[in-house]
Amino acid sequence: MMQPDSMLEGQVAIVTGGSQGIGRAIAGGLAAAGARIVVADLQGAEEAAAVYPGGVGLTVDVSSETDVARMVEGTVEQCGGVDILINNAGLYASLPMRPFEEIPVYEWRQVMDVNVLSMFLCCRAVVPLMKDRGGGRIVNISSGTPFRGVPFLLHYVTSKGAIVAFTRSLAKELGAAGVFVNCVAPGFTISDGVKAQPEVLEALAEVSVSARTLKRDQLPEDVVGAVVFLCGPGSEFITGQTMVIDGGQFFH
């Protein structure tokens, strides 16, 4: 029987936004399952990757077509290919909560570029490599907010809803090639980025816990098990799905 620490042995996993928060926790979980980790992030990628055996850190703006191409080239050069893509990079905690009519157009476009366009670019770049290897796994990180209709972050919530639709449509396109595409939607998570924004913590932490079936803070580590499962041998008949991980705040 395959052991948990070896079920992804020999596989290469790119984790965007993997230097901190949920991305860092996911990278650690995949590494513990045996995968070789490529951390792609704007800052701290090399430092974060250094803790994993054979880890590779690449400084990447995932909303840039040029940077994404360079990310894939660097991964192939150092690791030989790609088996797993975790589309985790995104904008959230730094966004001010405000009525939708006060959201500047430039900020709307920035959120869509980082949260949605990046996933298109990364998938488009890695899928040919996955097909060459006979298949692969893509896990997109969305959010519980589209299912609850959270106000005052319309661009963010819209972008995360788009990720669910993106996942479903892409899964249909890639199933015949053995590339499985799924989505994980965390609830409000006490990540490093959130901790750096006291006003976000004050506005959302207590109300989130009170709305949950499981009455505690959600931590980045709470997301890891679902992602590792969707990348492993136990999920070989699952694609196009969204798993909401929020302690029972929303039943999906």
Helix, strand or coil, per DSSP, at residue 198: helix
Distance CA 116, CA 121 (A): 9
Which of the following is catalytic: 52, 92, 106, 156? 156
Quote the tokens at residue 233: 């041998």
Helices within the chain (DSSP H only)? 21-32, 45-49, 65-79, 105-112, 118-132, 145-148, 154-174, 192-195, 198-211, 221-231
- Residue 106 among the catalytic residues: no
Torsion angle of C-alpha atoms 188, 191, 192, 197, degrees rounded to 10 = 10
Residues with a catalytic annotation lie at 156
